[in-house]
Structure 1
Amino acid sequence: MDVTQAISGRRSVREYTEEPVDASVIGNLIDAAIHAPSAVNAQPWAFTVVRDQKALRRVSDGAKAHMLATMGGNPHADHFRSHLRDLNFHIFYHAPALVLISGAAQGPWIVEDCALAGENLMLAAYAAGLGSCWIGFAQAYLNTADGKADLGLPAEWDPVAPIIIGHPKSAVTPVPRKSPEIRWVG
């Protein structure tokens, strides 16, 4: 698969089979992630792989409570609250694995660096026939002391990209794209 096919075909997957993702496959995805560019070649990322479903449930519950307590006037708050209050809603969609990319070194561009690594990981997952989804619901909670403790993360790490990985239950349909606004200078 060429990179254009991966870019245009990758979708956020939210329904997975129970089939586990082999550790060597996750290793290959992380290898793709570390080939991302980073500011001044700092490569500030660290990876936490979670395959324990009890740990994922614990983080899901903690993240839901944290979001409900802190979301304030978010424009999507009403939509989010209905999901977050649902005891059966699992923010990780019962995916067999979570790969959390954290900034392990301080620097002004760790978020951008880790996001670039995350995109590489998701494209590599798609090319390997896997689904992925960046779980924004987990981000704020994982940056709290309780969230870091749930996964045993060092206090100095900054969790940036919680990405679930798994075998999709079915193909995800393409989402229409808006025409970009483009301004040419020169």
Structure 2
Amino acid sequence: MELMEAISGRHSIRDYKPDPVAREAITRLIDAAIQAPSAISQQPWSFVVIQKQLLLDRISHDAKAHLMSERPVAGLPAHLYERLADANFQLYYHASVLIVISAITRGPWRVEDCALAAENLMLAAHGVGLGCCWIGLAHAWLNTPNGKKTIGIPDAYVPVAPIIVGLPKAPAPAVSRNVAEVRWIG
């Protein structure tokens, strides 16, 4: 797949087949992620791969409960709270894999560095026919002591990018993009 085709063709997938993703494929995605640039080449990332559906269901439940308990503070749109209140809504869309990219060092650009690794991972997933989606709703709970303990990361780490990966049930429809606001100087 040509690079610009991958960039313009990658979309967030929220409907997955129950099929597992091979460990070798996940390893390839992580290998692509660590090729990302990082400030001062610190490479401040760590990866947790969760493939157990029962654990994904449990952390989905816990993350939803956390967001509902933080409702006034979280400031999410009303339709998201309706989804979170639905007992049948699984935060990870029943994808077979959750990869959490966490920052392992302190530094002013650790979040940006991990976000760059996440984009590489998502482009690589699209390039090999896998679907993925950054699950921002999981972020708040993953950053709690209970969330970190549940997924096995040290207290000092900062979860940055919870990304689900799986085999899409169908191709994602194209999403229109706004025209870029550009200011040329010089």
Class of the TM-score when normalised by the shorter of the 2 chains: over 0.9
The corresponding residue for 2:145 is 145
Using the alignment, how far apart are the partners of 1:111 and 1:85 within structure 2? Answer: 30
Instruction: List runs of 5+ in structure 2 lacking aligned partners.
Output: none
State yes or no: 1:26 paired with 2:26: yes
Alignment partner, residue 110 of structure 1 = 110
Amino acid at match of 2:61: D
Partner of 2:71: 71
Q: Deviations over 1:124-170 (max 9, x none)?
A: 00000000000001001000001111112111110000000000000
**Aligned residue in 1 for 2:123:** 123
RMSD of Structure 2 on Structure 1 (CA): 1.0
Q: Please tell me whether the aligned partners of residues 15 and 168 of structure 2 are also in contact (alpha carbons under 8 angstroms).
A: yes
**TM-score, normalised to structure 1's length?**
0.97
The 8 Å contact of residues 122 and 132 in structure 2, kept in 1 or not, is answered as yes
Which string of whole-angstrom CA distances, capped at 9 and with x for unpartnered residues, describes residues 85-115 of structure 1? 0001000000000110000111111110000
Residue 177 of structure 1 corresponds to which residue in structure 2? Answer: 177
| Cα shift readout 1:53-86 (whole Å, capped 9, x = no counterpart) | 1111111011101111113266643111100000
In structure 2, the partner of 1:61 is 61
| AA partner of residue 60 (structure 2) | S
Equivalent-residue separation in structure 2 for 1:110 and 1:52 (angstroms): 28
Aligned residues: 186
Q: Percent identity?
A: 51
Amino acid corresponding to residue 86 of structure 2 in structure 1? D
Structure 1 pair 17–61 and aligned structure 2 pair: CA distance change class (3 A): same
Kindly indicate whether the alpha-carbon contact (under 8 Å) linking 2:67 and 2:74 is maintained by their aligned counterparts in 1: no
Q: Within 2, Cα distance between the matches of 1:95 and 1:19?
A: 9
Distance 1:105 1:74, change over 3 A: closer
SS in 1 for 2:164: strand
- Give the superposition deviation at 1:21: 0.4
- Distance in 1 between the 2:77 and 2:11 partners? 24
Structure 1: state its 5+ residue gaps.
Answer: none
Q: 2: distance between equivalents of 1:24 and 1:63?
A: 29
Matching residue's letter, 2:114: C
